[in-house]
Amino acid sequence: MPAMNIILLGPPGAGKGTQAARLQATRGMIQLSTGDMLREARASGSPIGLKVKAVMDAGELVSDAIVTALIGERLDAAGGQGAIFDGFPRTQAQAEALDLLLAERGRNLGHVIELMVDEDELVRRIVGRFTCANCGAPYHDELKRPQVEGTCDVCGSHEFKRRPDDNEQTVRTRMAEYRGKTAPILPYYEARGLVRRVDGMASVDEVARQIDAILDGVA
Ligand code: AP5
């Protein structure tokens, strides 16, 4: 059976990255996060990284050409693994480009899973989050502090970091970008019967259960 490819769609903080990482760990699928790819490019100081820094810090969308090229490269490296598109596509042009990239590689789109959420709660989720600077383990000021203050539960590191675009003003811009440019691509997939919805306000485990039921064909 060919590997399944899915899109996780939802505004900033909806839980796309959380669920994509889990699916990668449990199902042998590969997480393709354009946000992570762009942050890697920034950290490396590459020409693309320098170009996208200001755009990302303002909470605006990077150009379709850049993100489509990044996704194409990673898809080539994915071999036969099913892909979880996390944060891509975000515009109609990216959605059409993805169709082409998949068709060229003999891949199909199985589902577009929309995480349904409440925006004000998302601002709280995002503004409070931080990660271990060493191993990337996720934490939150209110929802999940390290068991020993200042020490990572997973690797024991004492260094933590926050994303530069995780402040309230930038988050509001990111939400507006989602409403204006990303949510309008849903009808493109609805017309093909691909959209499934899950309750993104439920617990991480419950969201996971709902997604698994869709992938296993029992929902
Ligand atoms: P990107 O990195 O994709 O950020 P985003 O879409 O804004 O999404 P986030 O990573 O903030 O949230 P998420 O939905 O993954 O939630 P998470 O699981 O982390 O993009 C960043 C920037 O890059 C963009 O602004 C843009 O500039 C650029 N970019 C990226 N892709 C692009 C593209 N295709 N085109 C153009 N530009 C692009 O969860 C959030 C928090 O909530 C965490 O603390 C988590 O632990 C917690 N949490 C998760 N699920 C739950 C739950 N069910 N209950 C309680 N807490 C939860």
13 CA distance to ligand 1 middle (Å)? 5
Per-residue DSSP letter, 60: P
The two three-digit tokens of residue 214, written as one number: 């869709």
CA distance 8 to 85: 6
Per the prediction, the chain carries an average pLDDT of 94
Q: Is 90 exceeded by the pLDDT of residue 12?
A: yes
- Sheet with 195-199: list strands edge to edge: 30-33, 83-86, 5-9, 109-116, 195-199
Over residues 140-183, the pLDDT tens digits come to 999 889 999 999 999 999 999 999 999 999 999 999 999 999 99
Q: What is the pTM of this model?
A: 0.93
Q: What is the pLDDT of residue 219?
A: 78
Residues with CB under 6 A from ligand 1: 10, 12-18, 34-35, 38, 55-56, 59-62, 67, 87-88, 90, 94, 125-126, 129, 138, 140, 143, 165, 174, 203-204, 207
191 CA distance to ligand 1 middle (Å)? 26
Output the furthest CA–CA distance in the chain (Å, rounded): 50
- Known catalytic membership, residue 105: no
Over residues 105-124, the pLDDT tens digits come to 999 999 999 999 998 889 99
**Quick check: helix, strand or coil at residue 217?**
coil
CA distances from 106 to 21, 77, 121 (A): 24, 14, 39
Per-residue DSSP letter, 161: E
Q: Residue with the nearest Cα to atom 32 of ligand 1?
A: 34
Catalytic residue among 90, 107, 125, 196: 90
Per residue in 96-116, is it b (16+ CB within 10 Å) or e — as a string? Answer: ebbeebbeeeebebbbbbbbe
Our measurement of the distance from residue 91's CA atom to the centroid of its chain's CA atoms, rounded to an integer in Å, reads 14
H or E segment to which residue 64 belongs? helix 64-77
Burial status of residue 94 (CB atoms within 10 A of its CB: 0-12, 13-18, 19 or more): buried
Closest CA to 173 of 61, 15, 53, 65: 61
33 CA distance to ligand 1 middle (Å)? 9
102 CA distance to ligand 1 middle (Å)? 23
